[in-house]
Structure 1
């Protein structure tokens, strides 16, 4: 039987219900993504998050279709998110490349489509394309990722549909307090990438002491913190036992004092930000390269047939 946390949803500003807890597949090849998706759905997960940049949409698409068959589910039982790659941004390019993403995912629509990063000079045109896809019914909700207050203000000036979701780095070390308040005022849901905060947060003695008190792991304690903060959470794992354990956070609650202790850890310590990218610095020779991950098994999963 699925955990309550996996059955819980939040209503986005356009009325669409989105699960509050799901699976991320960043840095997974297609085989790993397909297996993780199937395991997660078998164990009650209904929210699956990927992106073109991850290079595993083909594996995710296969995993979804196989899991639907194996678990006797319908497409509408799942909530699938993907993202527009930075190199595809712009109005016409977004529309064309999104059709290719749908093919890789083996879907006729996605539940949530995000702009992956606010590429200067392009993200407003990209947003216009997302609005078109939304109106056409190819996506049920639209949003952004890694957008700060200024980026959101730019969208506000368009006087059109605002994002339903902003997916940000969020964990005990990066709590986005000012942005969170701005988003709440605009009716934009916060979704966390890197919800566990890496080794520094997982090994923090304060969190470990709280975890020990509740008989939980530090990962479960952090995920419970994210949940109580009202953040949609998508931890990544390729192991079934961890996928199950990550969602086992509905049988305890953090006290106000424990929440305050974890809130006090906030450093706004981003692991990466848009100024780190080569496209922001204006040169391909500096900054973080922005490329679609390539995996040897992509063609295999594009052709792989679902077994009935």
Structure 2
């Protein structure tokens, strides 16, 4: 049995009474107190579950204890806060069934894309699995759920004419970097040449740039592993347009504001259906003409070369031209 009491200093006092034993302790929050009670009960009865837990309690504890250990902390933090405001969070953990999950899916599909729903479902499943480790539940109702089908991968290519129009709007002459827009232009060209992601480009520091050896080192990547990315002579030329400052980042502009400016420039250039990430498709398709698939996979950080097919989008006309 658990008895809760809020003290004058807003701390949570918990009285734990079970199996003829009594313990009490004071915590800063109810979630911390519940975690302590669960661990105390588990030490006496490994199969016992603590009662009175809501899904919202799981979201909060997961957000505060598990999410900060992840690279995707900020986006996960925001998703968990959004989950915590949903009616689903008010349900007792022991009462949540697959029907509740399906209701949430149907509701969410009216507001966000299938791929976004699946990302939320991945997080929800992780929360339930962690709750099992906390001995807060024995079930993960997301298991076996029929998920929405993800859309087909993007296959947007970037033409030379579009590149010319974007550089013109950004005011970049190919030689001088003095404005925020010029930084964006260089990042755009570098992405097309190297297949680097936007975050990887803006995360580059000069101490990880080895122009004399023709590569840059990425310490923070999407799959969590370090990798060295070879540079072409054009990529080296672009990076040499910047002043080299030890201990500083290569791109000193703000990534978020740069993304906003890039999207506005696309409107000015009258280009539709294009996103910065499409540079990765374009880069991989171009690089595939120059290096073999294993080298390409190593360069762009794909552990499974087959996944390159998501990004490789050569047209039939391009392939035919190489056949001779």
TM-score, structure 1 length as denominator?
Answer: 0.23
Higher relative contact order (CA 8 A, sep 6+): 1
Max Rg structure: 2
The structure that is strand-richer by fraction is 1
Q: Which has the higher helix share?
A: 2
- Compute the TM-score of the two structures, normalised by the length of structure 2: 0.22
